[in-house]
Structures are given as C-alpha cells and as structure tokens.
Structure 1
Amino acid sequence: MNMKLFCQPSFLTGLVLRLALVLWVTPAPVTEWYLPFLDTSTNTLTLNPWGTWLDLGGAITAFPYGYVMWLAFLPAILVCKALALPLMLGYGATLIGADILLLAVLRKIVPGRDRLLLAVYWLSPIVIVGSYVLGFNDLIPVLLLAGSLYFFKRARLILSGLVFITAVSAKLSMILALPFFLIYLQHNRPLRQHLPRLLIGLGAGTLATVLPFLLSSAGVSMLINNPEIGKVYELAFSIGDSSLLYVVPLAYLLMLYAAWRIKRPNFELFHSLLGLVFLLVVLMTPASPGWFIWAIPSLVAYQAASNRIAVAITAIFSLLYVVGALLITPDARLIVEQAAWLPQATSHLLFGGKLSSLVHTAMVATGIVLAIRIWRESVSRNDYFRLSRKPFVIGVAGDSGAGKDTYSDAIKGLFGSHSVTTLSGDDYHLWDRQKPMWQVMTHLNPMANDLEGFANDLVALTDSKNIHSRHYDHQTGRMSRPFMIQSNDFVIASGLHALYLPILRECYNLSVYLDIDESLRRHFKLQRDVHQRGHTEEKVLASFTRREPDSARFIRPQAAHADLVLSLQPIHPRILEGAGKNHPLHFKIVARSRNGLNELSLTRVLVGVCGLHVDMATRNDATEVELTIEGETSAQDIEMAARMICPRIFEFLDLKPQWQDGVMGLMQLITLSHINQALTKRFI
C-alpha cells in the first residue's frame, strides 16, 4: 500500500477511532463467546479447540467457525497472554489488521480512488459499528473473499481458489459466492480453459482447511447448532397446509439463473452480481449486524463507478444500519437506562415501541433502492451484459484474393477462437467444382451461390442460435457433410457477397470491404491458388479475364455499402517487379470510413507512437474520412496505439491477443477503432 495513504487525515481519524473503540468498548459476543473460547484454546494448544471447549462445558454456540478464523486470532491472543495484556487488545488488533489489509485489497480492485475509499470504506459506519462496537468478526472472511476476487481479476486462479476456501473456512456463508465463480469461468471463454486451475486451488484449500474441520465432530456440532443459519428460512410464505416457500433461497436461485443467462460476463459484472446476492441476503433476513459487512466491497466498487447520488444513498443506508443495530443491542439500552441526564421515558421510547421496526423498514427500503440502482447501473448497462443479448456481427466482403480469410483470421486472433464464430460465403456455393454449371457461371455471380441460405444462417447466428452448414474444400472442390456451427460473442461473416443483400447488411454491427489494388490482388491470388490450392498457373490467369465482368458488376459495388473500406496499395506502381525473398513487398493502407474512425486521435498515435506517415482527407462532401498510412510498424506499437485510442475494447479481447506487424496490424487497429465505435453506438 502507498505509504501516503497512512498520512491522510481521514485514515488517521479512522485509525484513532478504531483504537479508541478497542480500548473502551467490550461487546457482548466478544466477552461472552469469542474471547473465552480463544483463551481456553490457547491454554493448551490442540488441533481440536472445539472439542476442548465443549469438554470443559463451554456454550455450543461460542465459536461456529473453522480453522482459518481461529488461526487468524491466535497470534495476537498468544502475544497478549505472553505479555499479560487484556485479550481484548489482541482481538481488536486482529480486526484492525484485517481492516487495513481489506483497505489495501480494495485499493487494488478499485485503483486510483484513494479519497473515495477512505470515505466510503475506512470511515464506513457499517464497518466501524459492526466490527468494533458490536464485536462481530466478519471482517476476516470478507478480507479473504476480497483477496480471492483480486487474484481472480488477475487470472491467478490457483491462488484465487485457495484463498476463497480459506474464506469459507473462516465463515461458511462465503460458500454463497462459489457458484458465481464457476459460472463466471464457464461463460467467460478466454478464462474457461483455466477452470482446472481454480479447481486445483479449491481442492488444495479444502484439503488444508475444510476437511480437518469436518473431522472434528465438536466443530461440526458447533457449526450446525449456530442459530444464525436458521435465519435464512424465517422469511417464508405458506403454500397449502404443509409447504412453505422460502424467499431467501428462492431469490438466491433466481440470481444464479440471472448470472447463468449472461453469456460472457466480465469481472465488474461478476462482482456486481456477487454484491447483489450478499445485499439481498442481508436485506431479506433478520441478519446479524455483522452480515452487512459482506456487501461492503461491492458497495464500495459501486460507489466508485457511480456518482454522488450513489454515495449519498449508501451513506443513508449506513446510518440507518447503525441506528437500527444500536436499537436492538442490549448494551445500548443499558447505557441509556443508566444515563442519569436522560428522561426515564427515553428508554421505553427508543427500545419499547415500534421505532426499531420503523428504522429497519427504512433501512430495507434504502437497501432495495441500492439493489435496484446496482442492477440498473452496474449490470443492465454493463457492456458485457448487453453483448450477451446479441452477438457482435462483422461482415467482410471483397473480391477473390482480396485477403478476406487473412483479415478475418487477424481479427479472430484478437478476440480468440473461443469467442469468434466465422461464416464463409464459399461454403454456400451451389455446386462442387466438378459440376458443368461452372463452365457457364462463375463463383462471383450471386446466382451461383445460396445467398438465401447464407442470410438465413447469419440471421440465426445473430439471434444466438446454432446452425448446420457445410464446408467447401478449395483443394478438392467438394462440399463436406453438414456440421454444427455454434453462435458466439462475435460472428465474422466473410464472402464474395457478404454485403450484397440488404438483409445481410442489416445483420452487421460493422461492415468492411477489402479493396485491394488490382495488381496486388492478382499477385496474391496467383500465389495462393497455385501454391496452396493446387491450381495451375494457366488456369488461374485465365480465370482473371473470365471473372472480370462479374467482379465489376456484383463485387466492387458492395464497397458503397461498407462502413469501412480498407485498401491495400503498393508504395509505387512497379513494386511487383523482382519481388521475392530479397526484395520484400512494401505497402500503404488507405482507409475510408463513413462513420469516422477517431481520425484525429488515430493520426496522432500512428505518427507519435508508430512513427508512420499519415495523410488525412475528406470525400463525398465530407461524409467520408480517408487516411493514407505509409511506413513499417511492429505488433508492440499496434498494441500500444490500441490501448491509447480504444482502451475499453481490451475487455473484450483474448487474454493474449495475437497482434500483427505491418499492414495487417494497422488493419487490426483501424478495425478495433470501428468496433469500439460500433459498440458505443449499440449501447446508446
């Protein structure tokens, strides 16, 4: 943690307040249960402190926690015993240590908001009153859960799973978060392959902390007899004569279903859903005041992402919590009754009437408002939540040999094959290459392709439905058997006629036309068809003349319908003369956009970061922007430029995006800029 944080007046104020409460307040749960248990268990150290406690006639409800909670308090208690200090100091010192560590973890999860963190967490009435006035120890499991979330965010899944199990060992209620961890990994495709690492961490943590506790019959007995567990069943509705509908389990299962419905969550969405679960649990149960600390990390993250209204509502909720908690605390009533300067009727007014119920009602109402706002602002407006409703569809058109597959693969490499489904127009040729119809018609003619089937399948994928399609093998000229293609977060539909039909163009969130220089197109097509697809050079050269009329009639006009036209052009007209290994080809990119492409910021980055030469112009009465980009650049420069002009898009990329060098990297960068714009437009 930054040492400057310790010098902030608000931090010092909170620290002094905590120390004062530890010195002067002796909460009943601490003096009646926790400290006697810790004292007994440290008189004779044993691996079964629960058994020792029950053998000495201790209360069965004294310490219903696992090894991690016991070990958390053990060092400070032993130090106090060795120095003959009050055990309350050791207990309080442990809580303050956990408090400071939780502040540090929240600072990692919500970076750059130190002042807000000190205000809404470090000075939070819920944390201070719940932990230091009422004496509850929920800071320990919440710290461990927050630590697990931090490692989860950093994709350190073994450590995340291990720390999560320690949170469960500290307090069983933390197990509520486990299904959300698993759903997140299952639906976040870049992370799904790392699910076994989380399971390894969970397994190791279970063997180290949970299994030994389960072998202690005394410990299990104390956990089962904990009266707090039964509170989740107190809010229920009668169904018939013998059945009850438990509201809290019902709400929890509905939240699980809501999380499952999100096809690809990000960390912020996952964290918000987890916070909503904990908030709803404490609102719908006669919860222990310590339970409210469970929702604090998510409330802090929500306030950091929202506005002052969110901070104000959370402050009202916190103050109502404090009033309500004190009104039901016997110690508070005793203090009021013993205060000679207060009227005798004050105690009855505060503790004997309906005031506590009214305060609790107001607190629940404020909490529900918070839950609604969190859902609306952090969930329903989340980019990933909106993306989960409908895939992002990219259409790529261009002439034969224009580089559609190469370009599609480059974009697919950024988002990861696990998140991208590709649909190729070549797979919708009506006939195998051996059929005599190809002597009459070329592939470039729309009548030679099942464009209706292509459109229907694309609509189905756009609607998140799976399809069955065939694959056209360019080497054999034959179609494969039908196979299933699953919809995905991103769908790339490429083909000669990808922008030909109006219904196809309506499906795309971004449409791209590859308008390669004709001499380069013929050069690349000749290289591809001869060396990769096994055609003869004479046959390929003859196809150029035969296909030219169809290209001019059906293919090139599609450029007018594209949001983005990417043109690969030679640096000079005679570039192909003598091209080979000793004379590599050098190109320039001309990008024309109808929607704009962050041209000013993009130009600055391309010049300043990538060291390229950029010319900018407008066309068609300034409705189109054209950038001409020359020079060589590296994949590292492209990634740096992308982080500068569209940082938000990185949430959607693979864990290790495959950035390209040269002109293909520039195409990636320009395309990402357009995708970023299209996502923003889609989410308006």
Structure 2
Amino acid sequence: MNIKFFCRPTFLMGLALRLLLVLSVTPAPVTEWYLPFLDGSTNNLTLDPWGTWLEQGGSITAFPYGYIMWAAFLPFILTCKVLSLPLTLGYGLTLISADFLILMVLRKLLPRQDRLLVAVYWLSPIVIVGSYWLGYNDLIPVVFLAYSLYCVKNAKLMLAGVAFIAAISAKLSMVLALPFILIYLLHNRPLRQYLPQLLAGLTLGTTIAILPFLMSDAGVKMLYSNPEIGKIYALSVTISKTTNLYIVPLAYLLMIYAAWRVKRPNFELFHAMLGLVFLLVVLMTPASPGWFIWAIPSLVAYQASSNRIAVTITGTFSALYVVSALLITPDAKLLVEQISWISQAGKNWLFSVKLSSLIHTAMVAAGIVLAIRIWRESVSRNDYFRLSRKPFVIGVAGDSGAGKDTYSDAIKGLFGDHSVTTLSGDDYHLWDRQKPMWQVMTHLNPMANDLEGFAQDLVSLTDSKAIHSRHYDHKTGRMSRPFMIKSNDFIIASGLHALYLPILRECYNLSVYLDIDENLRRHFKMLRDVRQRGHSEEKVLSSFTRREPDSARFIRPQSVHADLVLSLQPIHPRMLEGVAGTNPLHFKIVARSRNGLNELSLTRVLVGVCGLHVDMSTTNDTSEIELTIEGETSAQDIELAARMICPRVFEFLDLNPEWQGGVLGLMQLITLSHINQALTKRFI
C-alpha cells in the first residue's frame, strides 16, 4: 500500500470533509428510516430483522434491503452502542469505509491514475453530497459491484459471482448489470472457459444471501413496497387505453442488444456500456439522488481514458446534480430561510418547482452529452467494438514445406484456439491423390485447386458466416466428409495459392509470404513427408524435380503481393551438408516489409533485450525495409520485447499465450508488430 497516496493534501481534505459531514449533518432518511431499523434490529439480534421491525410497528419502507446491506452496518452500529456513541457516527463510518474501499478498487482498475482518482472520485460532489449530506447508502452495493468487476477483469470468476450477489443483496437494482456480465463472458472467448466458475459463485452467493432473505415474508414485503421500484415506469408513452410503452425498460433492452452485437468485448468496452446503462437509468427516471452513485465508477474510468473536456463536462454534471439535490432537501431550505439579505420572494423562487425543474433539465442535458461522448469515445472507437464488425484476416502463402502450418500454429497459439479459425488451401485440392490427374498436374498448379471455392469460403468467413469444407488427409491422400467451420475474431488462411487471386489479397488485413531457403525447404520437406506423411525418400526426391517449374511459375511470384516476407535461412550455406535429421540447426531470419517493421524500436529490443545481431537495410526507393536477425533467444525475451513494441496488441491475445523461442518466436514478434500496424491502419 502506497503511504504517500494517503498523505496527499487532497485525500486528507476529502477524508476531513466526510468526517465533518458525518459529525454535523443528520440526514432525514438516516434518522427516519435506516437508524431506527438498525437500532431495533441490534437490540434483539435475529435472523429476520425485517419481521421483528414490522411486529414492533415500524414503517414498511424503512429498510428495503437484503442481508448484506444489514450486515454491512452491524459492526460500526454495534460498536457505537457498546461505547455509547451516536448511531449516526456508526452509520457514517460504514459509508466512509465503503467509500474508501471503492477508491482502492478503482486504484486497481485504473493504475497510475492516483491524482485523477482523488480529484474525480474522492472529491466527487455526487459521492459526498449523495452519501454524507443526504445520507443515502448506495455506496454499499457499489463497492461490491466494483469489486465484482475487478474480479471479472482478473478472471477470478468465483469471487466475482459471490461479490455480485452481495451487491444485489445490498440493493436489488444492481441486478441490472447481470446480463452485461454474462454477455461479456460469453463473447470474450478467452474468458468463456471460466463461465462455470461465475455460475458457481452466483449459486453460492444466492444460497448464502438471497434464499434466506426470500424466506422472510416481511423482508420480501418491505422490498416490494419500496416506492423506488416504480420509478422505472414513470417515463412512458401511452399507446392505447390499455397499453403504455415504458421508455426505461425499452432503453435497457436495447442496450442489452447493443452489447450482444459486440462479438468480443474487452473489459473497457464492457465497463463503458455498463456505465451507460446506469447513467441512462438515472437520467430517464425521477431517480433518488443516491442512484447517481451507481454510475460514478464508470464515469471515473471514462475520465481516466479521455481528456480535460470529459473532466469538465462531468464536473458540470456533478455541480448541477448538487444544486438539484440540495433544492429538494428541507435542511437547505431552512438554511436559506435564515439568510436575512434574501427577500421572501427570492426564497420562494429559489425553491420553486420551475427553478428546480430547469436545473434538473440542465443536469439531464449534461448527462446526455456525457452518454453520447462515452458511446463515441469508449464504445464506438473501442478497438474491440470495431473488430467485432469484421474479423481480422491473415493470409499466409509459401511453397510446399516452407512451414506454413508451423507458422500458422505459432500465431494461433498467441490468440488461442477459441479466437482463431484456420482455412487451409490443401483442403481445396480438386482430386484425391489416387486420381490419375495427379500424374499430369501437380497441386502447385492453380488449375489443380478450387481457388474460387477457397475465395468464396474466405469471403464468407470474413463476413462472419459459417462455411462447410472438407479436410485433405496427407497420409491417405483423400478428402474427409464436409464439416462446418465457423467464423471467428481472427482468421488465418494459408496455402500454396493464398496470395494468388486478387480477391484473396483484398480479404487480408495482413498478408505474409514464407520464403524459406531452397535447400532448407527441401531438407524440412524431406523430414516431414517421410516421417510424418509416410512417403518414401525416392518419391519425395522425384517430386522436387517435377514441381520446380510450377513453383517458379505460380508460387514464388506471390511474394511481391505480401505485406511481410519472412525468409528462414541457414547461418552458413554449407550448414546442411551431411547433417542428420536429429541434430539441432541454427538459422537466421530475413524479414522484408512494405509497411515498415517498427524497425527502430524492433532493432533496439532485439539487440538490447534479446541479445541478437541485427542488420537493417532499405531499397533505393525506401519502399521496402529488410532486417537480418541472427542469434538465439528465449520465449520470455520474445514476450518482453513484444510488450515493449506493441503493448496494445496484448488485449487481443489469449490469457495464456503460447510464446515460442528461437526463429519461430522472432516470427511471432515481427508478425505481432505488423498486426499492431494493421489494426491501427484499420481503425483510422
């Protein structure tokens, strides 16, 4: 814990202001509802405090909350009773504790933003006035909801479920967040595997906090007698004598649909949409002043990611909230009545319905502007939101044995099987190996492949549609039965002719050609075809001669269409002479790019972090950049280098990406650099 943070003058000022208000202000809701209930329920502790309260003739609207809200106040209330201190102090200290915990959670969610957090949260007029001047207890459910979101972000889904049920138990309105949490986990494929943990946490929390409350007839009666519930129906349009259209539920359902349309949200997008929901609810209802606290964590996150204009608009919204809230409180009216220099007519106008309505209108206008800005900046400009409209497609071409499958698997390992769909050009051979056409034509010839079908299926996947394809088994030389392939966030289309047709090249956000050294390619192909695919050495050697013309004519020219050419070469031309298949080989990578490689940053980390030797050159017209990289490096060094060069891409990677060492790791790093550039270009 950073002690310097708590020694900031602004933090101490906010703490002192809270204590002053707790000691000097006695809000009506506290003295009329909450404290009498808490006092009575602690005089004779039972498992059904609501039943005891109603039996004593208490108001049915005094405490329409569940066990968690009640339990949150017990420690300080009981302490004050034992020490004969005012119960208002215990109530206020509970709010300060929840307030402090929210601040700590926000520090975890928004690291390196301490100054901003103190300014826009700890000194927030909405939090201070709503909680300590007006006495509303919405900080309690918000702290559980904020902690639940923190657990969701860090994949602690069991704890997230329990904390979320605690938030609902503290205030039923928190259930508004549940559909968005479920959608986030369902559509965020790396997190989907943890969904059972969330359900287990929800079940455990429900068993502990919700079911016992539902067994209390008095508690349920108090909950449903709460007049606050009916506020969501206040804004409506009459369609007929028997039918009304309720605007708030309609807007809420449309927001759920908007969230569902995002195929893979990240946490920032999910948090922004959740904040929008709470903000729209409080703007479109005659909301209790405490409800506005629900949206505060999301507003803080928005201000942290935006600019000073966002802080200014939020500050204006908060100031209007304070004026609007104070005009409806009897304490403010009594205070103004004591000011002699204000005429009675002025006092009457100050607390008139017209003025309060005008201020509320201005506050709603500022809130709508905030909602529009949040949607524009945090949602519609979010990388994940824009990615959800269309998958990111990578095309990989190269000669037979160039390592297309190995390379594709390495890239797939970074993003996870759940987020990547692969389309192989081998699955579009027109004939089985047993057919006589293979004696006339090699599969390197485009005429031997259904390239139109390959292109049509790739276009369909790019359009987020599922396709039916077959798989070519290299061991048997036969095609499998058709099976379904679904689209995904990332699509890797690899094959001999992946860059052959113009329509294919138009589909790719990034095109890669693997230009392996010819002797090295033959070496790897011999090992693969003999050991993995069961071919004889004589058959493989004869295929080299037969396929060479087609390779030179149809395959190698595709390199001119690639954004990135990765060439694997031996350290020395004579390295393969007499080498055994089991001996380790040492290579160098030559990377040529038409889009740039972040070459300066990449060179620095390759030399400084990975300890490699790097030579850089450009063509005469500077249209291409070439890096020659030699040396050995580890998977850990590759990951560290990637975090330094393109940290933004890590949002798209799997929770546990599979980093490689050596030349394959270098290919991962260079490719991620290009993906980062392609994403940036795509989102301009």
Q: Distance in 2 between matches of 1:27 and 1:578?
A: 89
Greater shift after overlay, 90-99 or 288-297?
90-99
For 2:171, the aligned partner's letter is: K
Aligned-residue offset at 1:339: 3.6
Other structure's SS at 2:528 match: helix
Look up the equivalent residue of 1:103 and give its one-letter code.
L
Counterpart residue number, 2:303: 303
| Deviation, structure 1 residue 341 | 4.2
Equivalent in the alignment of 1:226? 226
SS at 2:351 equivalent = helix
Matched residue, 1:40: 40
Q: Residues 116-172 of structure 1: CA distance to partner in whole angstroms, max 9, x if unpaired?
A: 111100111000000000000000111110011111111111011111110111001
The one-letter amino acid of 1:541's match is L
- CA positional deviation for 1:582: 6.8
Cα deviation, residue 292, structure 1: 0.1
Deviation at 1:340, TM superposition (A): 3.8
CA apart distance, 1:346 = 2.6
| Residue 681 of structure 1 pairs with residue 681 of structure 2 | yes
Matches within 5 A, 1:272-671: 272-580=272-580, 583-671=583-671
Distance between the aligned counterparts of 1:85 and 1:441, measured in 2?
Answer: 95
> Alpha-carbon deviation of 1:322?
0.5
The answer as to whether partners of 2:252 and 2:277 remain within 8 angstroms in 1 is yes
Give deviations 1:187-211, integer Å, cap 9, x for gaps. 0000101100011111111111111
Q: Which residue of 2 aligns with 1:203?
A: 203
In structure 2, how many angstroms separate the alpha carbons of the residues matched to 1:201 and 1:674? 40
- Residue 481 of structure 1 and its aligned partner are, at CA, apart by 1.1
Partner of 1:590: helix, strand, or coil? strand
Distance in 2 between residues matched to 1:227 and 1:410, nearest whole Å: 58
3-state SS, counterpart of residue 244 of structure 1: strand
Provide the secondary structure at the position in 2 that maps to 1:442: coil
Residue 296 of structure 1 deviates from its aligned partner by 0.1
Q: Which residue of 2 aligns with 1:243?
A: 243
1:220-259, CA deviations, whole angstroms, 9 ceiling, x for partnerless residues? Answer: 0100000000000010001122100000000000000000
CA distance in 1, matches of 2:281, 2:561: 52
What is the rounded CA distance, in whole Å, between the counterparts of 2:84 and 2:580 in structure 1?
A: 85
**TM-score using structure 1 length:** 0.99
Matches of 2:583 and 2:388 in 1, distance apart?
A: 47
Following superposition, the deviation at residue 344 of structure 1 comes to 1.5
Deviations 1:288-307 (A, max 9, x none): 00000000000000000000
Partner SS for 1:418? helix
Amino acid paired to 1:402: A
**Post-superposition shift, 1:620?**
4.7
Deviates more, 1:324-333 or 1:519-528: 324-333
Shift of 1:287: 0.2
Q: Is the 8 A contact 2:527 2:581 kept in 1?
A: no
SS state at 1:89 partner: helix
Q: Which runs of 5+ in 1 are unaligned?
A: none
* Letter aligned with residue 633 of structure 2: T
2:10 is the counterpart of 1:2: no
Q: 1:393 aligns to what SS in structure 2? A: strand
Query: Could you give the per-residue CA deviations for residues 521-551 of structure 1, whole angstroms, max 9, x where no partner exists?
Result: 0011011111111111101100000000000
Aligned to 1:92: 92
Within 2, Cα distance between the matches of 1:340 and 1:50?
A: 46
Quote the residue 1:255 is aligned against: 255
List alignment gaps of at least 5 residues for structure 2. Answer: none
CA distance in 2 between counterparts of 1:334 and 1:60 reads 28
**Alpha-carbon deviation of 1:332?**
1.7
Letter in 2 for 1:458: L
Q: What residue in structure 1 maps to residue 29 of structure 2?
A: 29
- Which one is further off, 425-434 or 335-344? 335-344
> Could you tell me which amino acid in structure 2 is paired with residue 278 of structure 1?
F
Note the 1:63-82 alignment, pairs <5 A. 63-82=63-82
Q: Which AA in structure 1 matches 2:42?
A: T
Give the Cα separation in 2 of the matches to 1:552 and 1:298. 58
1:153 equivalent in structure 2: 153
Instruction: Work out whether 1:265 is the aligned partner of 2:271.
Output: no
- Matched residue type, 1:141: P
Q: Which residue of 2 aligns with 1:162?
A: 162
Whole-angstrom CA distance in 2 between matches of 1:192 and 1:582: 40
> For residues 184-203 of structure 1, what are the structure 2 equivalents within 5 Å?
184-203=184-203
Q: CA deviation at 1:619?
A: 1.9
Partner Cα distance (2:87, 2:342) in 1: 33
Q: What code does the residue aligned with 1:506 have?
A: E
**Amino acid in structure 2 at the alignment position of 1:48:** D
User: Following TM superposition, by how much is the alpha carbon of 1:406 offset from its aligned partner in structure 2, in angstroms?
Assistant: 0.5
Partner secondary structure for residue 418 of structure 2: coil
Superposed displacement of residue 342, structure 1: 3.0
User: Secondary structure of 2:614's match?
Assistant: strand
Aligned equivalents of 1:440 and 1:333: distance in 2?
Answer: 97
Q: Show the counterpart of 1:105.
A: 105
1:577 Cα shift? 2.4
Tell me the amino acid that sits aligned with residue 336 of structure 2. V
TM-score under structure 2 normalisation? 0.99
Match of 1:171 in 2: 171
Q: Which amino acid aligns with 1:97?
A: S
Give how far 1:97 is off: 1.0
* Cα shift readout 1:570-591 (whole Å, capped 9, x = no counterpart): 0111111232377411100000
Q: Describe the superposition over 1:599-656 as per-residue Cα deviations: whole angstroms up to 9, x where unpaired.
A: 1100110111111111111125211010000011111111111001000100000010
Deviation readout 1:65-103 (Å, 9 max, x if unpaired): 111111111010111111111100100111111111111
Tell me the C-alpha RMSD between the 2 structures: 0.9
Counterparts of 2:109 and 2:238, CA distance in 1: 43
Shift of 1:336: 2.0
How far apart, CA to CA, are the structure 1 residues paired with 2:144 and 2:183? Answer: 20
Q: Cα distance, 1:347 vs. partner?
A: 2.4
Looking at structure 2, the residues matched to 179 and 579 of structure 1 have their Cα atoms a distance apart, in angstroms, of: 60
Measured in 2, the distance between the counterparts of 1:35 and 1:335 equals 24
Give the aligned residue type for 2:607. Answer: V
After superposing on structure 2, the runs of 4+ consecutive aligned residues of structure 1 that deviate more than 6 Å are none
Distance, in Å, in 1 between the alignment partners of 2:77 and 2:466 is 60
Once residues 339 and 18 of structure 2 are traced to their aligned partners in structure 1, the CA distance between those partners, rounded to angstroms, is 24
Structure 2 counterpart of 1:485, which letter? I
Q: 1:521 & 1:404 partners in 2: Cα distance?
A: 11
What CA distance in whole angstroms lies between the structure 1 residues aligned with 2:266 and 2:586? 40
Indicate the SS of the match to 2:433: coil
- Distance (whole Å) between structure 2 residues aligned to residue 248 and residue 363 of structure 1: 18
Task: Give the Cα separation in 1 of the matches to 2:500 and 2:21.
Answer: 73
Q: Give 2:446's aligned amino acid.
A: P
